[in-house]
Each structure stands twice: as structure tokens, then as C-alpha cells.
Structure 1
Amino acid sequence: MFRILHSSKYLFLPLLLLCLAVLAQAQHFSINDKLKQVKLHFRLVRDMIVVPVYINKKGPFNFVLDTGVGLMIITDPQLVDSIDLITRRTIKIYGSGNAESFEAYTTSELDVKVADGIKSNLVHAAILKKDHFGLSNYAGMPIHGLLGYEFFSQLSVKINFMDSTLIAARPGKFKPFRKGIKVPISIEEHKPYLNTTIILPDGCPVENKFIIDLGAGHPLSLDNLKQHKNDTQKAIVANLGVGITGPINGYISRINEFKIGKYTFNNVITSFPDTNTHRSYFVSRDGNIGMGILKKFFLILDYQNGLMYMKPNYRFKEPFEHDMSGIEYYATGNDLKRILISRVEPGSAADEAGLTTDDEIITVNFKDVAKMSIVDIDNLFKSRNNRNVLVEVYRDKKFETVVLTLKRRI
């Protein structure tokens, strides 16, 4: 497993988009004619917006809303037997370069319901024959798929991260936020983009083009490390996520300053994908803006009018923090209640304490991890520099307790 807590979970799905682009042109969701708007609750899990979805009157299934994905994707192959598919055909998905292919199904039109009053129109999906992303293990709860462009394309969507609610209405029906900003966006290859500014170390502003990516767990990702090498402080090697061809390696550091409209962020944690694992894109861009920044705002996304409205919420002034333990871990077991270590960063607090890959975490500060969410564990491990945390692990058929002294690494 390579689900990690700072990752953009599925940054690169361009070939899937290419294979199914003809279907995508007709797919969208709309609101029942008798309603003005529809409100639903979501779960924010490791910075993923998880909504209940019914398919062919079966469910609910847990889907991640992701503006970085061009089509509805069912990542859990077991759903093939659960949703009464009429027809399906097999396609091969290829990554860039010489990467190996893998197989997926394309479905016939599905009856998809996200909430009472939001209906699907000609929505098809791709079903992966093998779960290549391990989102359930990453989230610590069952995740069945991703819902992207077709949900946002014909709706105006207001997202409130404070009370975990989402309201969908027809395009242009929401009033702009008072004391907020209006940001022009462009929709290209079924994804939203904006142009904004990064301040380089010499003080010069540089305009960059970013995807607005609700599916990315990091605050910011930049594709050109060389341009920003003097703007970064410490950098750590990391797995940045999983793409269509496998893990995305790279570095995590900070940049001095990032601006959206009148809002400025300092010391922003930023991912830099390694050029050896960098993918080519259909649309030229400089990186993506992820949930680490987006969740600091009330948001309205209006694809039809090419606009995003933003207003700071109470998270706006919270500093950007990264994991201080040096542990990458995932949930496993039938109920996803066991926590296993997948990687330990050399020189980190966990490495100094002697933790290793495949150790099973049993308790954290004397609390059974089976009674904690994976988000609770994340929050403890990035809570405070120099904080002592007691971690009990199981290895080689015996239990061992270690003291982690959390260490801010970037």
C-alpha cells in the first residue's frame, strides 16, 4: 500500500480521460425541475470530500468529489456485482512512457443519485478491474470511487467546510460572498484552472496556472523544483501519491509566499514531483492547488460561468503543518481498524525511535487505534514540535512501546 497522509491521492488520470472522452461530453448531473437547490452533508476524511452515492438504486456507496478527475471512476472492483450492470466492455488503460497497461470496464448508462433531487444524465463510468489506488486503506473507511467533472459541469456548487455541507443549484443562482472574492476560472479538458501569483525569493511575482483540485490532500504542488529551489527551506523525500502508473515520488518543502486574489499565504507546504516520475499533461500547467488551501475558504464553483467565489473561514489563519512523526501508514483488516506502517522516513522521529516498515500500531498515547479514526492519528502526529507521543506497536509476535518526540522536519 502507498497511501500517505500528505498525498494527492490520484493526481494523474489523463489516459482514462482520453479513452472515454466521447462519453464524457454528454454526462452531467442536474437538479429536479421542482427544486431550486439541494443540500447534502459530506464527510471530510483526510481532506477528501466523501459523499453518499446510489447507483442503479443500490447503495449508498462512498464517493470522493474530485475536481481533478474528468470522469466517474469506480475504484472498488467488487461493485461490478452489486450494481446490476446491463452491459460493460473492457478497455486497456496506459500510462505515459513505457508503463504497463491495466484493464478497466466501461459501463452502460447508470442511474446515479447523489442526493434526493440531484439526478444523473447519461452518466457512464469506468470500473477498475483492480483497485490501484487503495483509497479505502488510505481513508480508514470504504471508498468506492471518484466523482468529478460530470457532477460540477452543469451545477453551481457551494461548499462549507465548517459544517460539512454542500449545496447544489443551477449555474449563477448563488450570490457572491460578502467580503469575499470572485476568481475567474477556465474549464479545460474537464478540469478547472486558475491563474495566480507566486512570489520568488528575489521578490519578483510570477504568474502560474494551477488546477483547482479538490482531490489533492496537499496545500500546493509545483512542477518545477529548480525554479523554486532558492525559495524552499528544508526538503524531505516523500511519496506524493499514486497515479495511473504507480507511486509519484518527489519532495516536500515550503515556499515563501502564495497569493489568490487579495489573500496571501506564507510558508506554504508544497509538493514537488520528481522529474523522473513527472507526467505529461493535455493542458500546460504549473501545478495544482489542493485541499490544504481550499478548505480554508467557503467556496462556490460555477463552471458554466467560469467563476469561483472564495471567502475565508476560521481555518484561514491556521499555519500549514506537516506530519512530524516520519511515519507513513494505512488502515487494513476486514473493518479497516488495524494500522500498519508502510514507510519510515530516515532521520525522522519514528526512525530514531526504532519503528520500521510492517510494524502494526496498536495504541497511541494509551488509546486503542481501533477506537480512533485515521484522522485522529494524523492530527496527533502533526500536533506540536517536540511533543512526546507514546506509540505501542506489535512486531515479531511481541508488543513494544516507544516514545516519539515529534520533530518538525520542514
Structure 2
Amino acid sequence: MRKVTPPYDQARFLLLLIVAASLGGCEVGAPARVEAPADTVAGEIGFRMAGPNDAALLVPVHINGEGPFDFVLDTGATLTCVEQETAARLELPEQRGARGVGVGIGRAGRVNLVRVDSLRVGEARVAGMTACVLDLQQFAVLGTPIDGLLGLNFLQSFRMTLDFRRNVLLLTEP
């Protein structure tokens, strides 16, 4: 017998595929400095789900002391990415002579890279990191504006636990 997949499962799968593929092939520069919370309580961050069937996990992010901004937690993105209008509003400085190669969302191409002095999620911080700038309008399907993607160049600095019962992300030192 052939199993029939309901249309909403297919839509969720496609949305997750878009998110996961968004920058899987992006190249990054030097590692960033990490400032992690001293205890686990300080590392707890509330998150919310968005999109069809709660397909995306949104976390509040502060960039260079501004925010919070809604970022999709994206373990498939090598780089953290900032939506182009948000990057312009924050006047994030482009890294001169630096461009990344991005693969995802059905296409490959070059992306502009910017310098982020400080990116904070709750009390977990990474200083001096590179981010890419993308047009994230295709995420309108989520039903809420998206300011960026929180990628591995931030997440790899921490042990990450997702508590879906409490809608809490826990970031602690590895």
C-alpha cells in the first residue's frame, strides 16, 4: 500500500527544505569570539513558532545592541544572515573585498558579507562575527516579517537544547 502524505505535511517539508538549504554552501572567515552565559538559567530564551504547521522557530536576536529582531533558527545555514532592509537600517559595515558563495533556495550566487560587532540571543553573545545579507521576502509564507537567519557560525559556539513543551531555547557553554 502507498502512504498518502497530507498536503500540509508537504508544505511544511518544502518550507523546512527552503530554510535548511538557504546557505548550506556559504563560506566563512575567521572564527568569532564567544561570550557564553555563566549559568543555564541565564541561557534560557523564549521562542515562538510561525508559519504553516509551526514550520519555523523564531528567536529574538539583538545586533550591536539593537533589537530584538525575529530570526529563524536555521541549523542548515552555515552563516547567520541578516535581511537586507534590516542590515541597511542597522548600517552594518560591508567587509571590503569579501563576498560569500551561497547555495540554496533553488539557486546559487554571491552574497554580500557584513561585520557584526555583537550578536546576542538572551545572554549568549558572539562578538566580531561575519554575517551575510539576503533578501528574505520568500519567508512571507510564515505570516510574520523575518529579520534574519540564526546560523551555525553563532550556534556552534554553544550547547543547544530545545524544550518544545516550554518553548524555551537553552544556550550554554559546550
> Are 1:291 and 2:152 matched, yes or no?
yes
The Cα shift of 1:248 comes to: 4.7
> Are 1:238 and 2:93 matched, yes or no?
no
The Cα shift of 1:229 comes to: 3.5
- Gap runs ≥5 in structure 1: 1-19, 26-69, 76-94, 96-131, 139-176, 314-410
> 2-side partners of 1:194 and 1:222: how far apart?
13
1:35-82: CA deviation from partner (whole Å, max 9, x where unpaired): xxxxxxxxxxxxxxxxxxxxxxxxxxxxxxxxxxx4289x9xxxxxxx
Q: Partner amino acid for 2:9?
A: L
Q: Which residue of structure 2 lines up, in the alignment, with residue 85 of structure 1? A: none
Instruction: Give the alignment of 1:224-263 within 5 angstroms.
Output: 224=84, 225-234=87-96, 236-244=98-106, 246-263=107-124
1:145-172: CA deviation from partner (whole Å, max 9, x where unpaired): xxxxxxxxxxxxxxxxxxxxxxxxxxxx
One of 127, 138, 146 as aligned partner of 1:279: 138
Work out the percentage of aligned pairs sharing the same amino acid.
10
Distance 1:192 1:235, change over 3 A: farther
Q: Which residue of structure 1 lines up, in the alignment, with residue 13 of structure 2? A: 71
Instruction: Look up the SS of the partner of 2:96 in the other structure.
Output: coil
> 2-side partners of 1:216 and 1:230: how far apart?
20
> 2-side partners of 1:269 and 1:229: how far apart?
14
The Cα shift of 1:291 comes to: 1.0
Instruction: Look up the SS of the partner of 1:257 in the other structure.
Output: strand
Instruction: Give the alignment of 1:11-410 within 5 angstroms.
Output: 21-23=7-9, 70-71=12-13, 179-180=39-40, 181-189=43-51, 190-199=55-64, 205-218=66-79, 220-224=80-84, 225-234=87-96, 236-244=98-106, 246-273=107-134, 275=135, 279-283=138-142, 284-313=145-174
TM-score, normalised to structure 1's length?
Answer: 0.31
2:159–2:172: 8 Å Cα contact kept in structure 1? yes
2:119–2:126: 8 Å Cα contact kept in structure 1? yes
The Cα shift of 1:230 comes to: 4.6
> 2-side partners of 1:183 and 1:312: how far apart?
15
1:329-381: CA deviation from partner (whole Å, max 9, x where unpaired): xxxxxxxxxxxxxxxxxxxxxxxxxxxxxxxxxxxxxxxxxxxxxxxxxxxxx
- Pick the structure with more helix per residue: 2
1:232–1:256: 8 Å Cα contact kept in structure 2? no
Q: Which residue of structure 1 lines up, in the alignment, with residue 32 of structure 2? A: none
Distance 1:178 1:269, change over 3 A: closer
- Length, aligned pairs only: 146
1:238-268: CA deviation from partner (whole Å, max 9, x where unpaired): 3322213x22542112111111112222211
> 1-side partners of 2:10 and 2:97: how far apart?
39
1:187–1:303: 8 Å Cα contact kept in structure 2? no
Distance 1:243 1:263, change over 3 A: same
> 2-side partners of 1:211 and 1:293: how far apart?
13
Q: Partner amino acid for 2:72?
A: I
The Cα shift of 1:305 comes to: 2.3
Q: Which residue of structure 2 lines up, in the alignment, with residue 381 of structure 1? A: none
TM-score, normalised to structure 2's length?
Answer: 0.68
Q: Partner amino acid for 2:67?
A: V
The Cα shift of 1:292 comes to: 1.2
2:92–2:116: 8 Å Cα contact kept in structure 1? no
Q: Partner amino acid for 2:60?
A: N
